[in-house]
Structure 1
Amino acid sequence: MIKENQKRLNRLHVLLDALVIFISYLIAYLIMYYNDDAILALSAQVYFSALIIIIPLFLILYEFFELYTPKRISGRRSEIANISKANTIGVLIVTLALYLGGKNMNMHHFSRRLVIIFYILTNVLMVFERGFIRSFLMSIRTKGYNQKHVLLIGYSRAAEGYIDRVKQNPEWGYNIRGILDDHKERGYCYNGVKVIGTISNLHMILEMNVLDEIAITLSIKEYEHLEAIVNDCEKSGVHTKFIPDYNNFIPTIPYIEDLQGLPVINIRHVPLTELHNAYIKRIVDIFGALFGIIVFSPVMIVTAILVKLTDGGPIIYAQERVGLHNKPFKMYKFRSMAVQKPSEEKSKWTTPNDPRVTAVGRFIRKTSIDEMPQFFNVLSGNMSLVGPRPERPFYVEKFREEIPHYMIKHQVRPGLTGWAQVNGFRGDTSIQKRIDHDLYYIENWTLGFDFKIMFLTIFKGFINKNAY
């Protein structure tokens, strides 16, 4: 079983971390020894005796930040972030201790630059060490070693989804031993995993003590048995997971909040509904819009002149779109089409070689110059620099009935550019894929994600082959 192996691995991991901390400190000392005579004010014994405190302190912080908790499917970025947090707090504690105890213990001569170099080296070497361990474990798990043996209870869409993901990612090291289910015949097989018995066989299997995990994947119709199954699993001491069968009506990653001991599942997590996130994004929008207006003002002035000279109609075209909380607003664009009646344009897509598009209009649509007046929409608060693109009311009413979860996009401000657009879903492309990308953005928003999209827009967002 994996439990004993995991204990040995954790002990080895702690020893390797201690070694990395020591090596980082040693290298930092040698760099300072050969480059700074001030370090000789204290003996080497004084410097290295500090490791008696530093090494245990850092290892305790690593434990606190869950760096020794098994994470077969966790991302590298979260691990790197936790390493950085632990090291930062550790160095701050060490620096504070030197400052407070400096005069009494003659530690005011202790090299602060050595501490800084040690901090940098520890971050770099620790990330390298963890990356090596992660790659090594992924390699041996792919080959069938270091496996975690799992039994599924209940055949359902959740069970199928779990099996599919495990099979697609052998580096996770999950070995699904079978499924217990009361409605599928023994021997029924899905993606290489067989039904090996009924749920009544659970007690007998638990007594064999050959499992590392139980994953409860009951169909939602069988949740009446959930409490009894959980009780049996917990009596055996086997780690138990519950994989709910609700992905058909809760299609995303929900998050749970605690209501005085009562877990409350929020169907959809929208980070921008949190006030501090909304404020930060709005500040970036204001400064970004002002920057865009200033930088692109020459382009906008020339475009305005060309539109006026070639067609003689209005320079700016204000079209009604649906924005935050389903509220309509006027979105500004440089006019790229001949003037037409509102009743004629409100429900028509632009098509290739559309006769309504002017010569100048075709160019500014292709290069997205026609969208630049939307910087003023961003400044006024109707739009954001980044977000789902807004649509006309006619199409909103149409898509809300045809496209699942379409209206979720209106929980955030619409954007001048977006995740769907930089991935090529713009103009005459799949509405469903566009919404899928919009939902991913809404649920995974960070300020860094916004900057990534703005950066990608420079290379992917301006020139649009689907703009007619």
Structure 2
Amino acid sequence: MVRLFKHYVPNAVLVLALLDIGVLAIAGELGWLIRAWQIGMEVEPVLSRLPQILVFAASLEIAMVAVGGYGPDSLHSMRFAVARVLVAVSLGVIVQSVIFFLVPGLAFWRSNLFVAMVLSVCGLVLVRLLFGRLIGSERLKRRVVMLGAGNRAARIVRLAERPGASYVVAGLIAMGEAEPIQDAVPRQAIPNLAQHVVDLNATEVVMALEERRNALPLKDLLRVKTTGVHVTEISTFLERETGRIDLQSVNPSWLIFSDGFSSGRMISSAVKRMFDVTASLALLLFAAPVIALFAVLVKVESAGPAFYRQRRVGLYNEPFEILKLRSMRQDAEVAGKAVWAEKDDPRITRIGRFIRKVRIDELPQCWSVLKGEMSFVGPRPERPQFVEDLERELPFYAERHMVKPGITGWAQINYPYGASIEDARHKLEYDLYYAKNYSPFLDLLILLQTLRVVLWPDGAR
């Protein structure tokens, strides 16, 4: 794993992304050369068109990230990967056309662009055919030794078996568990733990002890550490591997002393606010016709107002009202009691189902972003009735209100719509990860990945 701006990126993803950038740059250059040869144009040195090549490669690479071209499915399914490549290149070409309209000097001509696009598709698919096995092989995965062989260690073993795992379990060391995992080696059978870890060619030791109180093998851990092998606590390991804060293993002291939740965010917060104001103004301006059109359609299909206001809990538990296009019948909550939305909820209208899937119902919330009550990126604000129940049921739920709520967020792009306490638990784990590791880079990644959720709606209700 490589950490970029407090966010972890798997080695396989980083290698594939670098290969893709190289392929896209070459495709851009070849597209220019081929077209120049066709029309008999004299070719100048490559430095003269370097800006166009870089803009071409960057726009298509950003499109690859936005459509999920580096997700686990894309890394392990050739058909899935090719579909994502085709969509990404198509989106990238649209972006190139916009750039050509705004700044003609930074984009290819249409003829060059077509050739470069074809070459890009061929090159990206070829990279996945040639390096697919290498990317998914154990050569790019870390070798991990588990110190502990109980239920916690079993979770790490199961995670290693999922598609896209960035590590393999090289060894299991039982630390006195009543029923250790099969193939675990008892600690008493290992004369020198540090040498045992080195012999397994491990790069990391994960503490997965069932009971840490008065049980930490400090001498063993110190000797392992001095060999150059990383020693990691299970909560930190799970955070890095899953992109969420694991509520089953985490404790208050880990949250207090771990890296994250930094208060020194003055510059990044100012940048975030400037982006929110600029983007919300632009979006309200350009989306006004779309909002007006669907407001009319909502009004025509069912009785009641086209918009509705709903009380939500915001930053520091302060209540505020959000504005959305109405997607349910007017009598959806006749008793006045908050009700979770369900799959194929009968209260949702036909127009409502469509605007929920493509997130058009969320557009009026840009007004809340402009006022400063929300941000574009952050945990989704919940209704006060739900918050009261969730704070009683879920540890650390109140901590998600330490950051401004958002229209989209880390939980929204990683977990489908939730309509239960258990769903809320999983989404809270992602929200806590965002609150702990917030950076402009993570915000940008979430905004890009939101496009994937819009194009392939999963669980929108």
Matches within 5 A, 1:290-439: 290-304=281-295, 316-335=307-326, 344-349=335-340, 352-354=345-347, 368-421=359-412, 425-426=416-417, 428=419, 430-439=423-432
Change (3 A) 1:156 1:444: farther
- Mapped to 1, the partners of 2:357 and 2:200 lie a distance apart of 59
Question: Residue 450 of structure 1 corresponds to which residue in structure 2?
Answer: 446
Q: Is the 8 A contact 2:369 2:375 kept in 1?
A: yes
Residue 245 of structure 2 corresponds to residue 252 of structure 1 = yes
Contact conserved, 1:315 with 1:335, CA < 8 A, in 2? yes
SS of residue in 2 equivalent to 1:330: strand
CA contact (8 A) 1:422 1:460 kept: no
- The TM-score with structure 2 as length reference comes to 0.54
Distance of 2:429 and 2:145 partners within structure 1: 32
Partner of residue 232 from structure 2, selected from 225, 239, 243: 243
How much has 1:380 moved relative to structure 2?
0.7
State TM-score, norm by structure 1.
Answer: 0.54
Structure 2 CA distance, aligned partners of 1:425 and 1:204? 43
Give yes or no for contact 1:216–1:240 (8 Å, CA) kept in 2.
no
The residue type paired with residue 173 of structure 2 is I
Percentage of matched positions with identical amino acids: 24
Alignment of 1:53-452 (within 5 A): 74-77=11-14, 113=47, 141=138, 152-157=146-151, 159-165=153-159, 176-179=170-173, 181=175, 183-184=176-177, 190=181, 192-198=182-188, 201-203=190-192, 206=195, 210=199, 212-213=201-202, 215=205, 217=207, 219=209, 220-221=211-212, 223=214, 225-233=216-224, 238-245=227-234, 252=245, 266-267=257-258, 269-270=260-261, 274-304=265-295, 316-335=307-326, 344-349=335-340, 352-354=345-347, 368-421=359-412, 425-426=416-417, 428=419, 430-439=423-432, 441-442=434-435, 443=437, 446-452=442-448
Superposed CA deviations along residues 367-424 of structure 1, whole A, max 9, x for unmatched, are 6544332121111111222333222101111122234544343233222334554567
The equivalent of 2:64 in structure 1 is none
Tell me if the contact between 2:193 and 2:220 (Cα under 8 Å) persists in the aligned partners: no
Structure 1 unpaired stretches of 5+: 1-64, 85-110, 121-129, 255-262
Matches of 2:326 and 2:196 in 1, distance apart? Answer: 75
Please provide the CA RMSD for this pair.
5.6
C-alpha offsets along residues 82-134 of structure 1, whole Å, 9 cap, x if unaligned? 9x9xxxxxxxxxxxxxxxxxxxxxxxxxx9949979x98xxxxxxxxx99998
Q: In structure 2, how many angstroms separate the alpha carbons of the residues matched to 1:173 and 1:404?
A: 29
CA contact (8 A) 1:314 1:335 kept: yes
For 1:269, what is the secondary structure of its paired residue?
coil
What is the distance in 1 between the residues matched to 2:415 and 2:196?
55
Deviation, structure 1 residue 203: 3.6
Distance in 2 of aligned mates of 1:277 and 1:358 = 40
Query: What is the rounded CA distance, in whole Å, between the counterparts of 1:115 and 1:411 in structure 2?
Result: 47
| Structure 1 residues 167 and 179: alpha-carbon distance in aligned structure 2, compared to 1, 3 A threshold | farther
SS at match of 2:217: helix
With a CA cutoff of 8 Å and minimum separation of 6, indicate the structure with the bigger relative contact order. Answer: 2
**Structure 2 letter corresponding to 1:300:** I
Q: Which has the larger radius of gyration?
A: 1
